[in-house]
Amino acid sequence: MALLFRALLFALACSSASLSLAETPATPLSEAAFTAGQTKLRASDLAGARTDFMEAVAQSPRHLRYLNALGLVYLRTNEGELAAKTYEFSCALTAEDYGANGARLSACYTLWANALLLKKDLPDAAVKFKSAFAASCSQEPTPVQDCLMVLYSLSRVLAAMGSLPEVAEFYEQLVAGIPATSPMRAQADKALQSVRRGELPQTVY
């Protein structure tokens, strides 16, 4: 849940910045609907927020801030199919203009993976968590804690599929890139050893 919450905050924060070339500009109507949806979301009126965010997306269908907000509501209402489709589109837009921004892509893939988990689609969720890991670790310097959080989620999915040993190669890749003097090296190596023993690593991140 910590990884999902951080991904949500990051995606919403990033998409509040200036528009990318791929995005549809906001209109007075779309912005009014989005603002109304935010107010209802803060009041825990998910149905009302859903309606307003849908209107915002209808007015500006390629706007990341609106898409991510609507996806958030779908996640909170356990509408996995709609959440997955929304984040699939959001990730495509993100990759189109922010392909070199690993943090943006990692957050988007993490949200997409969690939407797929709501659908009980473990194989595809595993693929998206792997994509999130690759995007996160493409950053310089490598955000080791973020990579570990993604790998923990991937570990849980693969364990449910009976394929936990598969995640060892990703931990090995991460450990190999961490300087021996880094305090995170021991933490990552401990997680790797747990996986090699067939155990889920502990979430101490």
- pLDDT at residue 6 in the model: 54
Burial zone of 179 (CB within 10 Å; 0-12 exposed, 13-18 middle, 19+ buried): exposed
Is 202 a residue whose pLDDT tops 50? yes
DSSP helix, strand, coil percent of the chain (3-state; round to 5): 75, 0, 25
Alpha carbons 30 and 51: distance in angstroms, whole number? 12
pLDDT-based confidence at residue 146 (cuts at 50, 70, 90): very high
Per the model's pLDDT, the better-predicted residue between 98 and 11 turns out to be 98
Question: Please, what sign has the CA dihedral across residues 28, 87, 75, 65?
Answer: negative
Place of tokens 């849980």: 156
Query: What pLDDT is attached to residue 100?
Result: 67
| Residue reference for tokens 């690993």 | 102
Question: How do the domains of the chain map onto residue ranges?
Answer: 2-121, 140-205
pLDDT of 102: 87
Q: What percent of the chain has pLDDT above 70?
A: 87
Distance CA 40, CA 47 (A): 9
Q: Is the pTM of this model over 0.85?
A: yes
Question: Whole-number mean pLDDT of the chain?
Answer: 88
Mean pLDDT of 90-97: 88
CATH architecture of the region 2-121 = Alpha Horseshoe (1.25)
Name the residue with tokens 């999915």.
157
Q: Please spell the DSSP secondary structure of 83-151, one letter per residue.
A: HHHHHHHHHHHHHHHHTT-HHHHHHHHHHHHHHHHHTT-HHHHHHHHHHHHHHHHTSSS--HHHHHHHH
